[in-house]
Structure formats: structure tokens, C-alpha cells
Amino acid sequence: MSLSLTDQRLDAFYEITSDSAVPFEERLQRLLAFGCGIFGLATGILARIRDDHYEIVAVVPDGGELKVGSRLPLGDTYCSQTVRSEHPIGFSRASGTAWERHPCYRSFRLESYLGTQVRVGGRPWGTLSFASPAPMPRDFDAADRGFIKLLAQWIGFGTDWIRLNRQTVRAQAADLSRAMIGAIDEGVICIDTAAPHRVCFVNPLAETLLGLREDAAIGRPLADLVELLPDPGCCCRGIDDWARCPQHGDFEAMLCTAGRPEGFPAALSFAPVALDGDALTVVTLRDIGRSRQTEEKLRLSDKVFEYSAEAIVITDADACILAVNPAFTWLTGYRPDEAIGRTPRILKSGRHDDAFYAGMWQALIRNGHWEGELWDRRKDGTEYPKWL
């Protein structure tokens, strides 16, 4: 028993669309070519329609006058009617009918046409259409109209799946970006570039510096949250001036916020960005007062290390020497370049057995410190006692 024409179409449709190993775009091209064959029309087009413009997303045959990315005024296409109709629109001959007066016929002389609406996410998205400059010998029947709707439904589902998948990827990327921004050691504030520069994002450190939680800062003008104290050497008289002039780049200023009403010196930068078509500015701020305090403490620590009368050795967790001070060199005879990269075993005198050293290291790991008398050997071989 031979298959009916409808069954043959469905078998071919299933064979094209069910092969998930083939990219969606390639299956779409095959489907357009398949549609041209079964409807007997020369050209197949999937078009995205928005803002009264018709943009070609896929076309068969490729390389003709109409190309992917080509844009036309929607009113110049037969699809201007199709996209508004819940049912397929088709005709076998435009000449001698009302379609002859349509701008599409005047521009392209397309005699025959079959098209239907493509819906994505439950809304009109575009059209799927097939057309030819030659008239058809027959009218399109219910089977033709039903089959083009099936093709459009598959395309709509596939397009929607890709859209949702991309949204998921973007959301995951956004979550990752937020996590990364939240982990950096600078305050980050995202504001609208246009006045009054409303806040649309702050990271945890910015919350601390502002003295506000993110939900309390969102939507408020930046000038309400940050006061830029006057600087006689600067032409800007407020934070808004800087927000309007991102080309100023990095600068330092005294800021007042609800979290730091006494004011604090900060390093700021303004960088314009575009996100989904919106003009935004990313503001970063860092409390350089605390940074300077930390740097000063480090400088003092370096001086203590350098000028201490007691020998100091710094090792890593594997007991590899990372640094020694001048007192160590004076006491042991080992220069820094001779000690760094080695272990304190270079000082072993041989007076203590392995059990002694094992107990010392166990106590050090358990208590965080060890204290006691130890005999070591200098570089020249002489032995000496020390209190460690």
C-alpha cells in the first residue's frame, strides 16, 4: 500500500527536523528547500518582523538578490498581510487580482505566494513564506496551508528554545559576573549615564562604603549617596560633574557617605559601558586612607624585620626559607642568597635527634609556636646555643 502525499510529506519533515546532531540553522535551510519543493515555489524565506521592518533570517536559494540580513519596509512585502493573520495566506496568481496593486508585486513581480505567521513565546515573531515569479497551475489547498503551519510551528519552537537557552546562558554569565564583582576588593557602583545618574547595582564593598544595602541604593541618584568634598584644584564641584565627564578617568577625592560621614580619601574611576543597548557608567571606589594605613604598617614591619637585633627566618608551610634578616646573616654566616630556597636543616648541629625535631614541629603546628634552647651550627662549622 503506497503512502499518501500527506504521509510522504510528514515522513520527510520528520527526517529533516529530528536529527538533533545537525545544527538548527542547517535544518532550517533544509526545511526551506523542502518547502520550495513540495509547494512548487522558487524561493523560501524566514523573516523577522519588528518596527515595521522585514529582515531576512534565512533564505533558499542562497546567493540571490535577497540575502540573509537584507531589510525591507514591511509594507513592501506580501508578509505585511500574513503577519497580521492567524491563518496562512496564499494565492496562485497575483496578476488580474487585487494583489497586483500590492507594492510587492510592483517591485518583485511575484505571481504566486504562500505564507504564514511564525510565533515565538506565544507572540507574533515573523513569517515563513514561499513565492515564485511564475503563477501556479493550481490553487493552494487545505493540505498545503496546514503543512506550512506545521513548518512554522517547528521553526517557532526551535527559535524559542534557542532564545530561552541564550537567556539562561546570559543569566548564568550575569550571576558569575556578579559573583566576581562581589569578590573584588573595590567598591563597584553601576549608574545610568544620563542625569540624575541613578544607581542600578552596587557590590558588597560598595554597600559598606555607602552605608546602605543594595536594595536601598537602587534607583537613587548617585549624588544622594556620595558627597564629593570641594577641591580647589579641581573644576568639578560635585560627584555629578565627574559622572558627566567619564573621560577624567581615575582621580582621588575626599568623599562623605552615610557609612563614612566623617569623610575618607578615595580613589575613583568612571568607565562608560553599554549593556543591552543601555548607556551605563561603572564607578569604582577604593578607600585609600585604609590602603595607606596598611602600606604604612607593612613598611614598619619591614623596618622591624630589617633592623631587629634578633635573627628572623621566614619559611613557607614546607619549611622552605623565604627570607632572612641581617641579624640572621651576622649570627649564622649565611647570606640571604645562600639560605633562601633551602630549609633550616642547614643549621643542624647534630646534637639533637629526629625525635626532638619531630616534637618541636608537632608543638609548632598544634600551638602555633615553640620555645626552647637549641644548638645550631654556623656556616663556618662552629656550634652555638640559641633560644628559639
User: Considering the domain boundaries, does residue 173 fall inside one?
Assistant: no
Distant-in-sequence, close-in-space partners of 90: CB < 8 Å, separation ≥ 6: 113, 114, 115, 139, 140, 144, 145
Q: What pairs with residue 272 in β-bridges?
A: 281
Residues 154, 12, single domain; the answer is: yes
Residues 260, 218, single domain; the answer is: yes
Residues 190, 339, single domain; the answer is: no
Residue ending a domain, choose from 238, 258, 291:
291
How far CA 19 is from CA of 7, 8, 138, 147, 388, in Å, comes to 19, 18, 33, 20, 74
Residues 325, 273, single domain; the answer is: no
Residues 192, 158, single domain; the answer is: no
Radius of gyration of the chain (CA): 38
Residues 55, 162, single domain; the answer is: yes
User: Considering the domain boundaries, does residue 40 fall inside one?
Assistant: yes
Report the CATH number that the domain containing residue 87 is assigned in CATH.
3.30.450.40
Task: For the chain, give the percent of residues with pLDDT over 70.
Answer: 81
Which domain range does residue 195 map to? 185-291
pTM for the complete prediction?
A: 0.47
Q: Which of 249, 254, 257, 208 is nearest to 229 (CA)?
A: 254
User: Considering the domain boundaries, does residue 174 fall inside one?
Assistant: no
pLDDT at 165 over 70: no
Residues 9, 157, single domain; the answer is: yes
Q: What total number of domains does the chain contain?
A: 3
Tell me what pLDDT residue 32 has. 93
**Best mean pLDDT range from 102-106, 206-210, 295-299, 347-351:** 102-106
Q: Which of 35, 55, 51 is nearest to 43 (CA)?
A: 35
pLDDT at 277 over 80: no
Residues 84, 230, single domain; the answer is: no
pLDDT band at 185 (very low <50, low <70, confident <90, very high): low
Query: For cell 563614612, what's the residue?
Result: 260
Residues 89, 189, single domain; the answer is: no
Report the CATH number that the domain containing residue 261 is assigned in CATH.
3.30.450.20
User: Considering the domain boundaries, does residue 179 fall inside one?
Assistant: no
**Best mean pLDDT range from 34-43, 237-246, 302-311, 357-366:** 34-43
CA dihedral 134, 138, 139, 145 (to 10 degrees): -90
User: Considering the domain boundaries, does residue 176 fall inside one?
Assistant: no
User: Considering the domain boundaries, does residue 302 fall inside one?
Assistant: no
Higher pLDDT, 2 or 131: 131
Query: Are 97 and 110 spatial neighbours (Cβ–Cβ below 8 Å)?
Result: no
Higher pLDDT, 386 or 99: 99
Per DSSP, 112 falls in state: E
Task: Tell me the pLDDT of the chain averaged across its residues.
Answer: 80
User: Considering the domain boundaries, does residue 260 fall inside one?
Assistant: yes
Residues 84, 232, single domain; the answer is: no
Tell me what pLDDT residue 1 has. 32
Which of 97-111, 286-300, 342-356 comes out lowest in average pLDDT?
Answer: 286-300
pLDDT band at 112 (very low <50, low <70, confident <90, very high): very high
Query: Are 42 and 21 spatial neighbours (Cβ–Cβ below 8 Å)?
Result: no
Residues 277, 351, single domain; the answer is: no
pLDDT at 3 over 60: no
pLDDT at 290 over 70: no
Distant-in-sequence, close-in-space partners of 5: CB < 8 Å, separation ≥ 6: 143
pLDDT band at 205 (very low <50, low <70, confident <90, very high): confident
Which of 7-11, 183-187, 257-261, 310-314 comes out lowest in average pLDDT?
Answer: 183-187
User: Considering the domain boundaries, does residue 157 fall inside one?
Assistant: yes
